[in-house]
Amino acid sequence: MSLAVGIVGLPNVGKSTLFNALSNAGAQAANYPFCTIDPNIGVVPVPDPRMDALIKLFEPHKEVPTAVEFVDIAGLVKGASQGEGKGNAFLSHIRNVDAIVHVVRCFDDSGIVHVHGKVDPVDDAEVINTELLLRDIQSVEARLQKAVKNSKGGDKAEKLAAATCEKLLAAMNRGQPARTIELDEESREVVKSLQLLTAKPMLYAANVAEAQLSAGTSDPLVAKVVELAAREKSEVVVISAAIEAEIVGLSPDERREFLDGLGVAEPGLNRLIRQAYALLDLITFFTAGKQEVRAWTIRRGTLAPQAAGKIHTDFERGFIRAEVQSWEDLVRLGSEAAVKAKGLLRVEGKEYVVQDGDVMHFRFNV
């Protein structure tokens, strides 16, 4: 499943540094605006303790984690919706991703230029959010004009589009992003067709200095971001891009010692990756054995035959049943035979909704 998360923000807030740490892809990071022009792309494995436990149990010949694609998009500036600072190209890059990680600078450092000359994460975030909203307003206004014209002949679909666009514009002109506007199912289909930037799910990454990490969301600058995110029904991950960039270059032992020194259990990147994965409303099921332990990505609510189709189309076409066990039961009891003996191995049919963390074996016939 090819799903992409775009990393956005003002210039010099730490986007490319964070991307380098995420993907270890060597994306250029420098202390001047528009260092990143073309978007950099990295495919990042999703850290998953459940998979680690299954690997420890089976000691397989092959391990295949699930992954998320991150796209480092160049810094946006005020006026981007009107083409300022290569804004048209940058906004088109955002249109092509499925979700957004919005990096905001929550640290003060005189050695790193701030595009506005001061550190205010809420002001910074609102610049980006306003530019996305202005571009969406342009898109909705254009669609409304078309819908009004086409609905004169009585076209019901165009009348619905016109009504939806009018409702969107009223809310957007009050500063409301599309993802927070309550709509019925038919209207949501109209919004989907518009590919609105503010309809995409968003996660804030509050980029802090090392000294601020222990304070977490109680840090004064981070607290402002948390308050903003709450109004938008978004989440916040506190992370130090500079520290994460250091951590990825360490050996496992050095990394553990470094994290212990910071007083944290795992790199902040792990939380960010998992949150981005959840932002896309994705879940994971596993296939596990001596040959291979593999994580498979599906959307929440996927039925068993469609999940089987992720492995091979024949599995979906000839689906008979799925043998399902929870990863906790399998790890706790030590084998599928033990799970079965306890009556915890379930046989599920075509209507079974796959759950996050299921370990599955599919029976099929073609």
Q: Which helix (H) or strand (E) holds 237?
A: strand 235-239
What pLDDT, on the 0 to 100 scale, is given for residue 36?
Answer: 42
Secondary structure (3-state) at 2: coil
Fold of 130-198: DNA polymerase; domain 1 (1.10.150)
CATH number listed for the domain at residues 4-46+66-117+200-279: 3.40.50.300
pLDDT-derived band at 87 (thresholds 50, 70, 90) equals: very low
pLDDT at site 138: 92
Least trusted range by pLDDT, from 13-22, 48-57, 236-245 = 13-22
13 known member of a binding site: yes
Please state whether the predicted TM-score (pTM) of the whole model is above 0.85: no
Distances (CA, A) of 46 to 53, 93, 160, 277: 14, 23, 40, 8
Report pLDDT digits (tens) over 293-341.
Answer: 999 999 999 999 999 999 999 999 999 999 999 999 999 999 999 999 9
Domain boundaries, the chain: 4-46+66-117+200-279, 130-198, 301-364
Architecture of domain 301-364: Roll (3.10)
Task: Provide mean pLDDT across the span 281-294.
Answer: 95
185-199: pLDDT as tens digits: 999 999 999 999 999
Average pLDDT over residues 71-77: 72
User: Residues 332-354: pLDDT tens digits?
Assistant: 999 999 999 999 999 999 999 99
Is pLDDT at 34 greater than 90 in this prediction? Answer: no
Alpha-carbon gap, residue 38 to 20, rounded angstroms: 15
Closest CA to 91 of 104, 108, 77: 77
Domains 130-198 and 301-364 share a fold: no
Q: Is 12 annotated as a binding residue?
A: yes
103 is known to lie in a ligand binding site: no
92 annotated ligand-binding residue? no
Tens digits of residue pLDDT in 204-240? 999 999 888 888 888 999 999 999 999 888 999 999 9
Q: What is the model's pLDDT at position 263? A: 80
Give the number of other Cβ atoms within 10 Å of residue 110's Cβ.
6
